[in-house]
Amino acid sequence: MLLKSIQNSLDELIYLLDQLSDKEYSKSCIALSNATIGEHTRHIIEMFQCLENGYDCGVLNYDNRERNTKIQTQTAFAKQSIIEIKSKLKSENKIIYLEHKSEESALSIQSTYYRELLYNLEHCIHHQALIKVAVLQFENILIDENFGVARSTIEYRKQCAQ
């Protein structure tokens, strides 16, 4: 169920990227403090990549993202990165240690792969909601009304409609 939900969210993102030119993808949005759809997409992608990169050794640090500007400026490269993420999702859960280092201290918290997948899914949905704000500046872009909406909210709305 979790892996399917992630696949669906990433597929929604690919569907959006298929509709955007690189210029639209890289256009600043005033409502997002001049951030771009590409920057938010890169952030989603690189969080999943961090999790994938930390899987084998069992240590994860989300601060160690690559921050690859190619992901945020080229829709084709971003789509390829998403396809790679989808193909590398693991079905086996395991313990992972989440690290956070600052100038003052270092912290290591025990987590699991599935817990971090769930975090990344929720994080993805949050950034999709922000991307949706930026998409509103363009005409002729089609996105699902539930793009950027948490699954629990979708279910809650269905119950209220009955």
Predicted local distance difference test score (pLDDT) of residue 151: 81
* pLDDT tens digits, 13-27: 999 999 999 999 999
Q: State pTM to two decimals.
A: 0.92
* pLDDT tens digits, 93-128: 999 999 998 888 889 999 999 999 999 999 999 999
Q: Confidence class of residue 152 from pLDDT cuts 50, 70 and 90?
A: confident
CA distance 40 to 20: 14
Predicted local distance difference test score (pLDDT) of residue 160: 87
Residue whose entry in the numeric block shows the structure tokens 């999709």: 128
Q: Confidence class of residue 153 from pLDDT cuts 50, 70 and 90?
A: confident
Query: What does the DSSP 8-state code read for residue 8?
Result: H
